[in-house]
Amino acid sequence: MGLFFPKYQWNDGPYLILKGNSETSITICWITSKKKNSYLTWGASDSNLDKNEVSTKKRFHSVTLNNLSSDSIYFYTIKEDLSLYSEGTVFSFSTAKNMDSNKEIDFIIAGDLQPKNDYTLKTNNILARQIDKENPDFIIQTGDLVQIGNIEKYWHYLMKSLPVMASARSILPVVGNHEYYLFHKNKNFKSYFPYNFPGKKSAYYSKDIGDIHLTFLDPYDGGFAGLSSRISKEQKKWFIKDLEKAVGHGTGWIFVVLHQAVLSNGEYSGDIKLQEWILPILSKFDVDAVFWGHAHLYEHWRYNYGKNGYVLNPEDNPGKNPLDFFCIGSSGASLESNFKLFTHKPFKKKKIKWFNKENGIAERTSVQFPWNREVYFEGEIDIDQYKKEDQHYYHLPFDKEGNYPEDRSVSYNTENKWYGYMYGENTLHYAKVKIKNSVCTISIRYADGTLLSGPDGTLPQEFLLKKKTRVASQ
């Protein structure tokens, strides 16, 4: 292997992950070019880093600091010359606020990164600097961090911008199909982000931060499945238990994050198998919002499962509230317009069986058409999209009266009305989530931090969610 894939030759990092309690601990990660002992010093004052830690004989170093005070600033330095920072650089981070303090919690959701050439290294850097400027409490990432998971060079490319946003706060990523490339599974992902994964071969996990429950899925742990997901039986069982537990201990907010697009109007359509499995569960547990990536653009659905009388399983008991689905698909990755967004052939997907108490079974097939290249507005040069191909192509699937037309140069999928498709735009972006007391605000931002607002600012992407009351099942 060494002949084709040269050994890692860089010292990279640092970046933070959150293995323990967010109020009292943090895990600092960095990588050395070879296995060695590596040293970290830290403390509560930047002029007095009085504590020393050693990480022994490794390339992937991670040191967890425990017993920290909540809502406090700490400082640290790594005794290595790192590719982005010379030895002696002092970094800082804050521990989470006390759960009962009613203070606002802010976090960012970043999309696909996949730095692979000069252009995407630049877009990744622009986004990482902007996300750092937002100063969130933590960052979630929707997968496809790297272009090819088993080639070390691409992980080094990721490390050219990841520390810019994640050396001062933790990052909680999900595994993407590009981390699984080529046939190496999720091994590098788990080495770079050593969370406590409950499944031995899988990379799913969950985390509670204050009043927020976050579930991170691994759509590919059930074996190779080409372009679609394949989720192991263990993970399916775990997912339900995880949500039951969250509801059981009365958590205020539940968000689910996964890489694979459950629904999509991008170059590929949504994942039917995934839809049939996950939609009834998301509705039953009344999750607040679901975030995925994979399609390198932004899309939003507001879907009320079962409201039209149709469910996927006759015994389903759907929740009353609509579900917000977001595709946060590019915080640096080459935009969907560079793939077959305008040129793919219309594709038909396998039928889905829906059940209705009065009408019995309805079989529905979705047909997806390419995007209309005529529908776009221009982006700003050098801040946002600075390549001609990367204009803000958008997808507004309904007319002024709110009707979804049959015209497939306006609404690109025959099922857009069924799933409550609201808006899509080919643009670099990220999501910002603010939670204070019983209100959550989700806003989608362009690369320069302004609100994603569509053509002439007519479609501001900002959504208010109110805290739901969930009843634990017996």
Give me the half-sphere count of Cα atoms (radius 13 Å) on the Cβ side of residue 346. Answer: 13
* Residue closer to Fe ion (CB basis): 179 or 415: 179
Please identify, among the stretches 199-207, 231-239, 293-301, 376-384, the one whose residues bind Fe ion according to the rule CB under 5 A. Answer: 293-301
**Taking the complex as a whole, how short is the minimal distance between the CB of residue 177 and Fe ion, in angstroms?**
4
How is the beta sheet containing 310-311 ordered, strand by strand? Answer: 310-311, 352-356, 360-364
* Residue closer to Fe ion (CB basis): 38 or 177: 177
Alpha-carbon distance of 218 to 230, in angstroms, equals 9
Q: Which of 69, 150, 144, 71 is CA-nearest to residue 113?
A: 144
Q: Does 415 bind Fe ion (CB under 5 A)?
A: no
**Taking the complex as a whole, how short is the minimal distance between the CB of residue 266 and Fe ion, in angstroms?**
10
Alpha-carbon distance of 368 to 416, in angstroms, equals 10
* Residue closer to Fe ion (CB basis): 140 or 435: 140
Q: Does 177 bind Fe ion (CB under 5 A)?
A: yes
How is the beta sheet containing 323-328 ordered, strand by strand? Answer: 205-209, 212-216, 253-257, 289-292, 323-328, 298-303, 421-425, 392-395, 376-377
Q: Which of 72, 95, 69, 105 is CA-nearest to residue 212?
A: 105
Please identify, among the stretches 180-188, 289-297, 313-321, 464-472, the one whose residues bind Fe ion according to the rule CB under 5 A. Answer: 289-297
* Residue closer to Fe ion (CB basis): 93 or 220: 220
Q: Does 112 bind Fe ion (CB under 5 A)?
A: yes
Whats the size of the chain, residue-wise? 474
* Contact predicate 173/141, CB 8 Å: yes
Please identify, among the stretches 59-67, 172-180, 314-322, 434-442, the one whose residues bind Fe ion according to the rule CB under 5 A. Answer: 172-180
**Taking the complex as a whole, how short is the minimal distance between the CB of residue 295 and Fe ion, in angstroms?**
8
| Binding string, residues 421-450; x marks residues near Fe ion by CB under 5 A | ------------------------------
Q: Does 144 bind Fe ion (CB under 5 A)?
A: yes
Q: Which of 246, 247, 272, 179 is CA-nearest to residue 218?
A: 179
Please identify, among the stretches 89-97, 106-114, 181-189, 336-344, the one whose residues bind Fe ion according to the rule CB under 5 A. Answer: 106-114
Q: Does 294 bind Fe ion (CB under 5 A)?
A: yes
The first and second tokens of residue 220, run together, are: 């590919």
**Taking the complex as a whole, how short is the minimal distance between the CB of residue 296 and Fe ion, in angstroms?**
6
* Residue closer to Fe ion (CB basis): 197 or 292: 292
**Taking the complex as a whole, how short is the minimal distance between the CB of residue 19 and Fe ion, in angstroms?**
25
DSSP per-residue letters across 284-322: HTT-SEEEE-SSSSEEEEEE-TTTTSEESSTT----SS-
* Residue closer to Fe ion (CB basis): 167 or 202: 202
Q: Does 218 bind Fe ion (CB under 5 A)?
A: no
Q: Which of 459, 465, 462 is CA-nearest to residue 443?
A: 462
Strand partners, 443: 432, 462
The first and second tokens of residue 114, run together, are: 């996949």
Q: Does 176 bind Fe ion (CB under 5 A)?
A: yes
Please identify, among the stretches 169-177, 179-187, 273-281, 439-447, the one whose residues bind Fe ion according to the rule CB under 5 A. Answer: 169-177
**Taking the complex as a whole, how short is the minimal distance between the CB of residue 336 and Fe ion, in angstroms?**
9
Please identify, among the stretches 48-56, 288-296, 359-367, 424-432, the one whose residues bind Fe ion according to the rule CB under 5 A. Answer: 288-296
Contacts to Fe ion by CB under 5 A: 112, 144, 176-177, 294
